[in-house]
Amino acid sequence: MSAAILTNTKDNVATATMRLNKDDIISLKAGDHEISVRVMQEIPSGHKLAIRNIRKGEAVIKYGEIIGLATCEIHQGEHVHVHNIEGLRGRGDKK
């Protein structure tokens, strides 16, 4: 079983299918080639990690589509969640 899943070759995040620990090396299937990523911090099962560096303000891509923007610099292997990305839709807090 794969430790994390990439849904689309355009994605810059992968979803962990088990708890990942710091310094784990995971390999991911991206189309017909494999990429490997060193996990930088603990990632709970079901949560996402960056598979490459993502700049502040850059689109976070999953399913080959934009799921939000990075609110700070995110490094490869780091946890990607509500603390460092934000959605753009249905935002009642923004006028």
Partner 1 sequence: MNFQGYPRQNGTVGIRNHVLVFPTVICSSEVARMISQAVPGTVYVAHPHGCGHLGVEKEHIIRTMGGFCSNPNIAAVLLVGNGCELISTEVLAEELKKNRQRFEIVNVQDEGGTTGAVEKGKSLAEHLKYEAQEAKRISCGISELIIGVKCGGSDTLSGLTANPAVGYTADLVVSHGGTVLISEVPEMLGAEHVLARRARNRDTADRILQITSTMEKKILETGVDIRGTEPSPGNIEGGLSTLEEKSLGAILKGGSTPVQQVVQYAERPSEKGLVIMDGPALDAVVNTGMVAAGAQIIVFTTGRGTPLGSPVAPVIKVSSNTQLYQKMKDNIDINAGGIVDGSGNLVSVGEKIFHEILEVASGKLTRSEILGHSEFAIHNIGPAV
| Residues 31, 9: Cα–Cα separation, whole Å | 6
Binding mask 31-70 for partner 1 (x = CB under 8 A): -------------xxxxx-------------xx-xxxx--
Distance CA 95, CA 91 (A): 8
Q: What is the CA radius of gyration of the chain?
A: 13
Residue 20 DSSP symbol: B
Regarding 24 and contact with partner 1 (CB under 8 A), the answer is no
Choose the binding region for partner 1 from 20-28, 29-37, 50-58, 82-90 (rule: CB under 8 A). Answer: 82-90
Shortest distance (Å) from residue 64 CB to partner 1: 9
